[in-house]
Structure 1
Amino acid sequence: MKPSTVTDLLFNQLSFRSDRQKVISSNIANINTPGYKTKDLVFEQELQKVDLGKDLQMSKTNSMHMNGFNETSNTNQAKLTQVKGLEEQTDGNNVNLDTQMSEMSKNKMIFDALQSSITKDSRLFRSVIESSQKN
């Protein structure tokens, strides 16, 4: 039983934020990888607004790269995309540490707010149940 109809949306957003944090962490981990391009996780509806021509998939070009982003992102209708228009370094890498740290901080604040909302939603549901038991 769900506390409210909003709960599914909150949990989906929480899952998306968790997956996005993994992508941002991967970008930061690859800051010194030649040719690495910054990735981002976006909702499918947002992707449809932009004509990309093809799906961008992560490819494992080194046995030391992490696995699993595409499996988790599909559960909440999000897509992993390459961020376009970023300034590249001489080695072809376009990860900007300041931007990624800022995105990570913003993502964590939203994640924390979602967790707080879920907690409040659950408390409200619990109080309704406890009130109904008294009658």
Structure 2
Amino acid sequence: MHIFTGGNILLQKVADLRLQQQNIISSNIANVNNQAYRHKSLDFESQLQAAYHAKGSPLTTTDPDHMGSQKYTGVKGEIETEFKPKMVHGQDSVDLDKEMTEMASNALQFSAMMTLIQKDFAGKFKYLEEFSK
């Protein structure tokens, strides 16, 4: 059994991308009063899904940690700048309520990833503890 499995790598990648997204949302909030600033977001969910389905069903994998860790290493996320050609005051700037909602959602999802990583390592620690007896 390997300690660092494909599942760990996937969880680590998602947590890293969630942290990047949180930084972008923070930047959006910090620039809420800057009229020249355009809303930015990080799209990585579609890339993760594409990587997940890239080499067929994960159920056909018969070891190398059962989750194909190599296919997630290329997922980086793309920063998207929302451009609205409207010049109506307030409609082309950052929406603070939307950003705060996105920040809360992202923080919850990041917390869930950290909990999964912690439980994964706790299980491995228990295994190693039993194995060493």
Common topology (TM > 0.5): yes
Cα pair 1:33 1:93 within 8 Å, conserved: no
The answer for the alignment partner of 2:105 in structure 1 is 106
Which runs of no fewer than 5 residues in structure 2 stay unpaired? 51-73
Q: Following the alignment from structure 2 to structure 1, what is the Cα–Cα distance between the partners of residues 40 and 16? A: 18
The answer for the alignment partner of 1:12 in structure 2 is 13
Offset of residue 77 of structure 1: 1.4
Question: Is 2:25 aligned against 1:24?
Answer: yes
TM normalised by structure 1 equals 0.69
Offset of residue 118 of structure 1: 0.4
**Could you tell me which amino acid in structure 2 is paired with residue 40 of structure 1?**
S
Q: Following the alignment from structure 1 to structure 2, what is the Cα–Cα distance between the partners of residues 86 and 125? A: 53
Offset of residue 34 of structure 1: 1.4
Which runs of no fewer than 5 residues in structure 1 stay unpaired? 50-74
Q: Which structure has more helix as a fraction of its residues?
A: 2
Q: Following the alignment from structure 1 to structure 2, what is the Cα–Cα distance between the partners of residues 15 and 88? A: 35
- Identity rate of aligned residues, in percent? 29
Post-superposition, which runs of at least 4 consecutive aligned residues in structure 1 deviate over 4 A?
Answer: 84-89
The answer for the alignment partner of 1:133 in structure 2 is 132
Offset of residue 43 of structure 1: 1.9
Match runs of 1:85-124 below 5 Å: 89-90=88-89, 93-124=92-123
The answer for the alignment partner of 1:38 in structure 2 is 39
Match of 1:126, SS state, is helix
RMSD of aligned alpha carbons = 2.7
Offset of residue 82 of structure 1: 1.2
Q: 1:44 to 1:123 in 2, by over 3 A?
A: closer
Q: Following the alignment from structure 1 to structure 2, what is the Cα–Cα distance between the partners of residues 79 and 103? A: 17
Cα pair 1:35 1:91 within 8 Å, conserved: no
TM normalised by structure 2 equals 0.70
**Could you tell me which amino acid in structure 2 is paired with residue 16 of structure 1?**
L
Cα pair 1:10 1:114 within 8 Å, conserved: yes
The answer for the alignment partner of 1:69 in structure 2 is none
